[in-house]
Amino acid sequence: MFRARWAAAATVVLTLTGAGLVVATPAHAVPFPLTDDFEGDPASRWVADAVAGKTSVRLGNHNLARSPSKAATLDAGGIPTSTSARIYRTVTPDITTPLPVSCSISLHTRRIRILPPLPDPVSVEVYVKIRSGGPTGRITLARTKVVSATVWERWDVGTMSYPSSAFTIEMATYYGVVLIDDVSFSCIGFP
């Protein structure tokens, strides 16, 4: 089932604007910049990876969504564990030769309080990784942010060289509950 969901996520078509990158599909190419606010059917674009009984991921409606009504909820619970709640999405550039450009990723985060009897962590660490290829590929960018705010905050995750082949955007937490919304991956310096 996990492989089927990964394959479905890798073959989705999005309607996005811009130029330079595309989501891999059998017969269609969709240009970047990628801006995903989790609207529509986010489960068709993102793979949710959680451990039953320990962590959970929810892609969909949330009354605290930043825009308009859906977000990703990563719930790793109130007890620190070595298992994560994570989502990822594999994307393929529409150009196969490297270009001298810089790409950046940003997103919005918000910590959700955990109700008793579980302890409520005062902060949640959110991990963002960009991997070459699929979800087990080499890590080309890795950043961590401590999220303590219970209001939306923008996080400019970082920059990297233009990926000339498929790459995966991954977001995870190992402790606490966090909302993620408005993920953006864009590149500058196209000739």
Cβ–Cβ < 8 Å for 11, 25: yes
**pLDDT for res 12:** 29
Report how far residue 114's alpha carbon sits from residue 75's, in angstroms, rounded to the nearest whole number.
Answer: 10
**pLDDT for res 190:** 54
**pTM score of the predicted model:** 0.79
**pLDDT for res 118:** 77
**pLDDT for res 180:** 97
Report how far residue 188's alpha carbon sits from residue 163's, in angstroms, rounded to the nearest whole number.
Answer: 12
pLDDT tens-place string over residues 32-52: 677 889 999 999 999 999 988
Range of the domain at 47: 2-188
Report how far residue 76's alpha carbon sits from residue 60's, in angstroms, rounded to the nearest whole number.
Answer: 17
- Residue 18, by phi and psi: left (phi above 0), alpha (psi -120 to 50) or beta? left
Report how far residue 185's alpha carbon sits from residue 188's, in angstroms, rounded to the nearest whole number.
Answer: 11
Q: Is 132 exposed, middle or buried (0-12, 13-18, 19+ CB in 10 A)?
A: middle
Look at the chain and report how many structural domains it folds into. Answer: 1
Report how far residue 191's alpha carbon sits from residue 184's, in angstroms, rounded to the nearest whole number.
Answer: 21
Cβ–Cβ < 8 Å for 67, 37: yes
For residue 60, give the CATH number of its domain. 2.60.120.200
Q: Which residues of the chain have pLDDT under 70?
A: 1-32, 94-100, 189-191
Cβ-proximal residues to 57 (8 Å cutoff; 6+ apart), any chain:
48, 49, 50, 72, 73, 74, 75, 85, 86, 87
8: tokens are 């479905």
